[in-house]
């Protein structure tokens, strides 16, 4: 079922915050996707029963489903390398994430970044919120990142907690809160929630940090219509200098392949 856009927008009233605007945009995009999937499946059933002529696009959807691949029209909302079964389960969780937020109008304690079809839009909205609150220009703000050792129970006073990120090409030292060598056969390492806090830009940045690129999914180059790069997160580089992790191609992924 789609998320009720009209009811959500009505309950928000006139003075919508930047985060509310992002929520409505995400609801719109997911509803378009859910409608597309629903129509495809209804048409496919009719085609199989002989009530509808199977067009090339319907045949393609049939082939994809038979082979366990996600049909290309369904990937317009956001890119993914998951198989159809995993993608479907992931989609249910994504829609639930926004459904809960829409139902209560209370933002989640920790935001699942990969649930957003456009995470950069969400991060810009967080910066806008902080800029308005502080009465500063958004151009003067940069991110400060603090990994959380404990489970987060309450939202932060400023910025947001972000969850659901994975390290590729490194592991995470929980006690020291630094990057470390991955163990044998460890391809990905889940990161703890990270506090993304907007702060005023200063020339001095802390030493011993690795500027870790964040990608939406494992295909780092993205596609023609959509780049995969999202943001840079600064993480403490640990025993190795940042150059070591650069050569390793260490990055954060918001979603994985199967």
237 in the same domain as 132: yes
163 in the same domain as 87: no
Res. 205: pLDDT tops 80: no
pLDDT higher at 53 or 85:
85
35 in the same domain as 52: yes
150 in the same domain as 32: no
184 in the same domain as 120: yes
Partners of 188 in beta bridges = 168
112 in the same domain as 101: no
Which residue segment(s) compose the domain that 207 sits in? 108-258
pTM of the model: 0.91
Question: What CATH number should be reported for the domain holding residue 20?
Answer: 1.20.1270
Among 106, 123, 142, residue at a domain's last position? 106
Question: What CATH number should be reported for the domain holding residue 245?
Answer: 3.10.490.20
The answer to whether 197 and 159 are in contact (CB under 8 A) is: yes
- Specify the number of domains making up the chain: 2
The answer to whether 213 and 190 are in contact (CB under 8 A) is: no
152 in the same domain as 97: no
Per residue in 34-77, pLDDT tens?
999 999 999 999 988 888 888 888 999 999 999 999 999 999 99
The answer to whether 98 and 106 are in contact (CB under 8 A) is: no
245 in the same domain as 118: yes
Helices of type H across 13-108: 18-49, 56-67, 84-104
Reported confidence tier of residue 203, pLDDT bands at 50, 70, 90: low
29 in the same domain as 97: yes
102 in the same domain as 128: no
141 in the same domain as 76: no
Among 73, 106, 139, residue at a domain's last position? 106
135 in the same domain as 80: no
Mean predicted lDDT score pLDDT of the chain: 93
Distance separating alpha carbons of residues 118 and 242, to the nearest angstrom: 28
Reported confidence tier of residue 186, pLDDT bands at 50, 70, 90: confident
The sign of the torsion formed by the CA atoms of 243, 207, 157, 12 equals negative
Among 63, 82, 106, residue at a domain's last position? 106
């Amino acid at each position: 079922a789609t998320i009720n856009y009209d009811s959500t927008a009505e309950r928000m009233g006139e003075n919508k915050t930047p985060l509310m605007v992002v929520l409505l945009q995400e609801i719109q995009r997911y509803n378009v996707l859910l409608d597309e999937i629903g129509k495809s499946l209804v048409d496919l059933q009719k085609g199989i029963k002989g009530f509808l002529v199977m067009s090339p696009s319907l045949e393609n959807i049939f082939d994809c489903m038979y082979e366990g691949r996600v049909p290309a029209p369904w990937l317009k909302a956001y890119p993914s390398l998951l198989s159809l079964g995993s993608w479907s389960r992931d989609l249910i969780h994504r829609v639930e994430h926004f459904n809960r937020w829409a139902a209560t109008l209370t933002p989640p304690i920790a935001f699942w970044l990969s649930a957003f079809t456009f995470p950069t839009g969400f991060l810009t909205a967080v910066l806008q919120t902080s800029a308005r609150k502080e009465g500063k220009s958004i151009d003067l703000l940069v991110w400060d990142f603090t990994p959380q050792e404990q489970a987060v129970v309450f939202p932060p006073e400023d910025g947001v907690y972000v969850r659901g990120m994975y390290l590729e090409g490194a592991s995470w030292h929980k006690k020291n809160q630094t990057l470390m060598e991955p163990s044998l056969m460890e391809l990905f390492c889940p990161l703890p929630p990270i506090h993304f806090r907007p702060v005023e830009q200063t020339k001095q940045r802390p030493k011993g940090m690795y500027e870790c690129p964040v990608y939406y999914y494992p295909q780092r180059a993205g596609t023609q219509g959509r780049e995969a790069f999202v943001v840079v997160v600064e993480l403490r580089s640990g025993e190795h200098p940042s150059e070591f992790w650069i050569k390793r191609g260490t990055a954060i992924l918001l979603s994985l392949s199967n």
